[in-house]
Amino acid sequence: MRQVLLIVDVQSTFSPPEWLVDGIRVLSAHIPSIASVELHDEQVTPFQRQLGWHPASEDECLVEVDQVFIKHGYGPTPEMLAYIAQLGVERVLVCGLQTETCVLAAGFALFDAGLNPTLVTDLTVGSSLDRSGKLGRELWRHHFGQVTTAAEVIAGIRA
């Protein structure tokens, strides 16, 4: 199966747990991988004005990937969606930080673009509202249905 891994906002700003970064590194070594990095630009997304906080204005992905896309806000950019579409993949595996916000926003954008999002459930962490990510996983199952684990993906590649 042709697939790509989308790593959402695994960057220093959001202090991802080491187990998450390590697990994503293992999976990304097996398939083409891209990442989003969320940066602050108050002129584009008013985080400070509306929420009283903002991501860093400079940061980088903590996992080595084939392509990094900078975003200013919750969802992926049109450039990222176009890039994924031109890859001609059968599904987009999604993992990363803030399962019920940024990861879910990526799922909606991918779904709306016809790109078959699949959540890698053991490689996501929720926001400060729900660090377990349970809420985000339940919302993902409800809206998109498709979930997997890193072990299942690797087993499928080796089969």
The amino acid sitting at 153 is V
Specify if 116 maps to a domain: yes
Residue with tokens 């509202």: 129
Specify if 123 maps to a domain: yes
Average pLDDT, stretch 14-26?
Answer: 96
Average pLDDT, stretch 17-45?
Answer: 94
Specify if 105 maps to a domain: yes
Inform me whether the pLDDT recorded for 25 exceeds 90. yes
Token digits of residue 74: 């919750």
**What is the structure's pLDDT at 49?**
85
pLDDT cut 90: percent of the chain above it: 80
**pLDDT band at 132; cut points 50, 70, 90:** confident
Q: Report the domain count for the chain.
A: 1
Structural domain boundaries, residue 23: 3-41+54-158
Specify if 49 maps to a domain: no
Identify the CATH number of the domain in which residue 107 sits: 3.40.50.850
What b-and-e string marks burial along 64-101, b requiring 16 or more CB atoms within 10 Å of the CB? Answer: ebeebbebbbbbbeeebbebbeeeebebbbbbbbbbbb
List, for residues 37-94, the tens digit of each pLDDT value: 998 888 888 888 888 877 888 999 999 999 999 999 999 999 999 999 999 999 999 9
DSSP class of 61: B
Specify if 48 maps to a domain: no
Specify if 143 maps to a domain: yes
